[in-house]
Structure 1
């Protein structure tokens, strides 16, 4: 079941997100987040009326997705960045696709012109997800990030709505 995020989801979202921080290059964040950190982010995103959704199975949040500012200047308000994270125990069930489809639909309802997906490489699962939803690869920034003492390429994918 997909529903809007609630502040009470913050602890569970931090539990889902922290393994990505600790063990992967999928996010360039390096410090683990707390429930309070996530609650602040939820407040910030929902105050802008951007979609922030969770996927529940048997009463437990197993994935989440949201849209956020791609860049800070107001000229970019027509373009938002996508984020989708699935609990490591719930992966390979198609939940990322379910959340992404809903996120795209909600972006259309708030008159967003385009969506940007940012992918740290290698990440073939995320690349396939973006291809599935007809995002177009629009750029590859070589060695633009550093995590775990490794230089990482970052791709930008765009969907014009």
Structure 2
């Protein structure tokens, strides 16, 4: 089931996201989030963008949301998109279901340019974005530093 995220989902979402913070370079965040910090993000992103979860048998398996791309007014129709799945849940089509729903919700709110930022290499995320119709529009070399290594990032865009 896909539904809007609520502050009651903060613990489950923290569990999913903090795994990526602590163990991967997929996110450039370096400090795990608290449930209160996550609940605030859910509240803030839900108001203007969309924040959804995929729930299976009462457990949140994944989530997706839109957030600010840039702050100047001219960017008001652009949003950065994000999707995360519980470790081990990839390859079951959940990411595609979440992204499809997120795209529709953001489109319904008047967004025109959806932008995905991917730490490279990350073939699974690249495949997901391209399956959803995103096209690669930028590649920045050594743009981030985490776990004692320089990391590239790429940007994929979908116009809706």
TM range (shorter): over 0.9
Find the counterpart in structure 2 of residue 32 from structure 1. Answer: 32
Render the CA deviation track for 1:10-32: whole Å, top value 9, x for unaligned: 01100010010001111000001
Partner of 1:158: 157
Query: CA offsets per residue over residues 82-128 of structure 1, 9 Å max, x none?
Result: 01000013222111011001011111111111100000011000000
Runs of 4+ in 1 over 3 A off after TM superposition: none
Structure 1 length as normaliser, TM-score?
Answer: 0.97
Residue ranges of structure 2 left out of the alignment (5+ in a row): none
Aligned to 2:87: 88
State how many pairs are aligned.
160
**1: distance between equivalents of 2:108 and 2:74?**
19
Q: Distance in 2 between matches of 1:62 and 1:20?
A: 14
Contact 2:6 2:43 in 1 (8 A): no
**Cα deviation, residue 47, structure 1:** 2.6
Q: Deviations over 1:53-72 (max 9, x none)?
A: 00000011110000001111
| Mapped partners of 1:134, 1:91: distance in 2 | 19
Q: CA RMSD in A?
A: 0.8
**Match of residue 3 from structure 1:** 3
